Structure 1
Amino acid sequence: MFKKAIKHLGWIATLTSVSMYVAYIPQILNNLNNQKGNPIQPLVAAINCSLWVIYGLFKPHRDWPLVVANAPGIIFGLIAFLTAM
């Protein structure tokens, strides 16, 4: 029972993490409309997410919730960074 609950918790955390990175879309749109945001935070988020994705993929037993949760952070973090420049 505990193992099943932890698995569900991992996927719930994955969904909230993906939501957090999708929330970059308004910043990206503002950046594209010349209301530039700070580029540092999305760049650091993209680097952090890259490290977590690599970690999750190269564990002996791949950690898919971790990979799925952080992959959008790479994409949206880099887009937010590049459009803020």
Structure 2
Amino acid sequence: MNERFITILGWVATFTAVCMYVSYLEQIGLNLDGNKGGLIQPLATAVNCTLWVCYGLFKEKRDLPVALANSPGVVLGLAAFVTAI
């Protein structure tokens, strides 16, 4: 496959990952309204995304799409976890 296709694919995947993590906003709203969700999934999301952000930023040749795609998962996963307590 050519490099241009792979680059476009990486950014499209980044966009869809961000959309997936933004869906936590609904759960955070429900948590704040008293309809508490589970604790394990958002905590696992936050830990997983933290590891991927570190991987993307600290590898020798940075992988910004990986880091950017997972950044919202860190923040929103933690927010969903905290509001579910």
TM-score exceeds 0.5: yes
The CA distance in 1 between the partners of 2:81 and 2:12, in whole Å, is 27
- Alpha-carbon distance in structure 2 between the residues aligned to 1:24 and 1:58: 27
The runs of 5 or more residues in structure 2 that have no matched partner are none
TM-score norm. by structure 2 comes to 0.98
What is the aligned partner in structure 1 of residue 3 from structure 2? 3
**Unaligned 5+ runs, structure 1:** none
Normalising by structure 1, we get a TM-score of 0.98
Per-residue deviation, 1:39 = 1.1
- Mapping of residues 1-85 of structure 1, within 5 Å: 2-85=2-85
Residues of 1 paired with 2:38 and 2:64: CA distance? 31
Instruction: State, as a whole percentage, how many aligned pairs show the same letter.
Output: 55
Query: CA offsets per residue over residues 9-50 of structure 1, 9 Å max, x none?
Result: 000000000000000001000000000000110000000000
Count matched residues: 85
Distance 2:50 2:76 in 1: 12
